[in-house]
Structure 1
Amino acid sequence: MPSAELSSWNNGPAKTAILDFVARVTSEGGPDHVPPADRIATFDNDGTLWCEQPLQVQFSFAQHRLNDMVARDPSLAERQPFKAYVEKDMAAIKAAGMRGLFEVGAAVHAGMTEEAFDRMARDWLAEAKHAGLGRLFTDLVYVPQLELVAYLQKHGFQIFIVSGGGIDLMRAFSEEVYKIPRHHVIGSSVKTRFEIQDGIGQLVKLPELNSFDDREVKPCNIGLHIGRRPILAFGNSDGDLAMLRYTKTGPGPRLALLLHHDDGTREFAYDREFRLSPLAEALDNAPQYGIDIVSMKRDWAEVFAP
């Protein structure tokens, strides 16, 4: 395999496993050959494709929208769950978990059309920066993962994002940043209502959760939206474990990868203590389940683009 392949990945078991797997499933006439139509790969987003610390980007986006709403209606700041976010009560926010975060997002974006939401998300992403690292959130994508996505696409894989994050926020940047089509994004969603506004059919967001795309819901949504079991899946938390096991336990060649954030120098070191999206069960049982661990510290030559 040319040395230029996956150049930001260090030589080691993880890189070897990826290269060997792709070589096997794309080898015409080989015993493990997989037709292109079945070469489905699914990636989690937060913590797998871009930085999720100290809180997922969805939090900052919902906070931005909430601040605008409180400016117009200060009484919101006295009502839960908004009060916790206005006061940045991290204990309450973390206690509510990712589902609580998304439910707040559903409430603050209710009444918007999907087109208006997309414009607002794009405008926000063009300027929004990580408070600690001082860079645009869209600059804090992992270079090794961008290489891996491009490498898989080059070899006939169809790449899907399957994330607990909001589907519409991810669709606002997936094509430009990841080169993954927006219709290949599966995420948490709110219910919508069809309306005619000024003669134009619109989908209007409702303040009600439709699907919280985490844990066992991920395989269900893969079946619903893709209709094929992935042969490769990549995650970073217990929320991805069901997707990894759904992938790994299918027939034929399979590869399930789990990113361990163990590099506190170049990014952040965390796993089971991150209450919003912990990594404990998947980490402890990875060998038993046949999941390959990817160490950010050991396996990645770089994390973010310079």
Structure 2
Amino acid sequence: MPLAAQAEDLATWNDGPTRKAIIDFVKDVTTQGDPKFVPVEDRIAVFDNDGTLWTEHPIYFQFAFMLDRVKALAPEHPEWKENEPFKSILAGDMKGVEASGEKGIMEIGMETHAGMSTDAFQKIVSDWFATARHPKFKRPYNDLTFVPMRELLDFLRANGFKTYIVSGGGIEFMRPQTDQMYGIPPEQVIGSSIVTKYVLKDDIPYLMREPKVNFIDDGPGKPVGINNHIGRRPIFVAGNSDGDYEMLRWVTARGGPSLGIIVHHTDSAREYAYDRDTKVGRLDKAMTEAPERGWVLVDMKNDWKKVYDFEK
């Protein structure tokens, strides 16, 4: 299929410098004889997930999952009525939860994500996505993927790219959803993980999730995760926050053709508007350095004709 025809697939991107930068880059690296041509095997594209491929406000989807799991498990833990941060969760006191800090969040994560097999956890996650609803949109969380970014994934794959997710979110929280959401299979998802151990119960093998952190795939961990899982330096990177800064730096410093884009949340009507002054998905340093580093800021309000499938 000619590249010009494939470019029409970016139907929900408004014509302008952002769309042009993406199309021109892909044309350059896929045109035989062009000095910027990149062989198919090196056409690797990496995407952050939270805030880049799906909505991340008012709280990360995985944190919403954690809160719901605490409420579901509370009958088995009467002590939580007196112990923080669980006491605040059960009372609906988010300020109290925040006051518990990183230690409290980690404790919530271990209680809700460990002590079960990988198969059991996958079912819990899948069931949650099938029933939970976003507080603003009153829709399933898996309805809240960005149409233009899904089109971009398709466009890149149509031009020989292999697409990966590289997220600070839990790798096994994302994997049950990414294939149907984005066409990205589980083996092309990189994320944070907890320790997993092989065990036998009644002579049946299981992989059991233990309450210990294995790897944090955020900030400087993202380039490390890419190297460990992929073994090639990508030529295309998409993020939305300072948690993607190191990944943006590493990919676009490869010494050959590369493109970095940053999804800038500017649309308070269709989604949310935020950047420097937010705790969830803070975009400050990366936005400041974007012009000098050649990173393309995607203005959600002006660059996208629509955000979600369900828009009229």
Which of the five TM-score ranges fits, normalised by the shorter chain?
over 0.9
Q: CA deviation at 1:81?
A: 3.2
Tell me how far apart the structure 1 counterparts of residues 255 and 103 of structure 2 sit (CA, whole Å): 32
Tell me how far apart the structure 1 counterparts of residues 16 and 97 of structure 2 sit (CA, whole Å): 39
**What does residue 28 of structure 2 align with?**
24
Corresponding residue to 1:78 among 82, 103, 108: 82
Stretch of structure 1 that moved more, 92-101 or 50-59: 92-101
| 1:43 and 2:47 matched | yes
| 1:60 and 2:64 matched | yes
**What does residue 112 of structure 1 align with?**
116
Corresponding residue to 2:163 among 131, 156, 159: 159
**Which portions of structure 1, spanning 4 or more consecutive aligned residues, are displaced by more than 6 angstroms?**
96-99
**What does residue 220 of structure 1 align with?**
224
**What does residue 244 of structure 2 align with?**
240
Corresponding residue to 2:196 among 192, 214, 217: 192
Q: Which runs of 5+ in 2 are unaligned?
A: none
Instruction: Give the residue type in structure 1 aligned to 2:125.
Output: A
Instruction: Give the residue type in structure 1 aligned to 2:135.
Output: A
**Measured at CA, do residues 292 and 211 of structure 1 come closer, stay the same or move farther in structure 2, by a change above 3 Å?**
same
**Measured at CA, do residues 226 and 97 of structure 1 come closer, stay the same or move farther in structure 2, by a change above 3 Å?**
farther
Corresponding residue to 2:291 among 263, 287, 290: 287
Instruction: Give the residue type in structure 2 aligned to 1:165.
Output: G
Instruction: Give the residue type in structure 2 aligned to 1:207.
Output: P
Determine if contact 2:56/2:281 at 8 Å carries over to the other structure.
no
**Measured at CA, do residues 190 and 297 of structure 1 come closer, stay the same or move farther in structure 2, by a change above 3 Å?**
same
Q: CA deviation at 1:140?
A: 0.5
**Measured at CA, do residues 230 and 290 of structure 1 come closer, stay the same or move farther in structure 2, by a change above 3 Å?**
same
**Per the alignment, in what secondary structure is the counterpart of residue 5 of structure 1?**
coil
**Per the alignment, in what secondary structure is the counterpart of residue 229 of structure 1?**
coil
Q: CA deviation at 1:198?
A: 3.1
Determine if contact 2:235/2:259 at 8 Å carries over to the other structure.
yes
**Measured at CA, do residues 146 and 208 of structure 1 come closer, stay the same or move farther in structure 2, by a change above 3 Å?**
same
Tell me how far apart the structure 2 counterparts of residues 199 and 153 of structure 1 sit (CA, whole Å): 43
**Measured at CA, do residues 21 and 222 of structure 1 come closer, stay the same or move farther in structure 2, by a change above 3 Å?**
same
Corresponding residue to 1:11 among 11, 15, 19: 15
Stretch of structure 1 that moved more, 273-282 or 101-110: 101-110
| 1:253 and 2:257 matched | yes
Q: CA deviation at 1:108?
A: 1.9
Instruction: Give the residue type in structure 2 aligned to 1:167.
Output: I
| Aligned-residue RMSD, C-alpha | 1.7
**Per the alignment, in what secondary structure is the counterpart of residue 76 of structure 1?**
helix
Q: CA deviation at 1:295?
A: 0.3
Residues 103-124 of structure 1: per-residue CA shift (max 9 Å, x gap): 5223322211001111111111
**What does residue 146 of structure 1 align with?**
150
| 1:122 and 2:130 matched | no
**Measured at CA, do residues 99 and 151 of structure 1 come closer, stay the same or move farther in structure 2, by a change above 3 Å?**
farther
Give TM-score scaled by structure 1 length: 0.95
**What does residue 169 of structure 1 align with?**
173
Q: CA deviation at 1:99?
A: 8.3
Determine if contact 1:98/1:276 at 8 Å carries over to the other structure.
no
Q: Which runs of 5+ in 1 are unaligned?
A: none
**Per the alignment, in what secondary structure is the counterpart of residue 156 of structure 1?**
coil
Tell me how far apart the structure 2 counterparts of residues 100 and 236 of structure 1 sit (CA, whole Å): 26
Determine if contact 2:84/2:100 at 8 Å carries over to the other structure.
no
**What does residue 90 of structure 1 align with?**
94
Tell me how far apart the structure 2 counterparts of residues 97 and 178 of structure 1 sit (CA, whole Å): 33
Q: CA deviation at 1:78?
A: 2.2
Residues 272-301 of structure 1: per-residue CA shift (max 9 Å, x gap): 122133111111111122211000001101
Determine if contact 1:256/1:291 at 8 Å carries over to the other structure.
yes
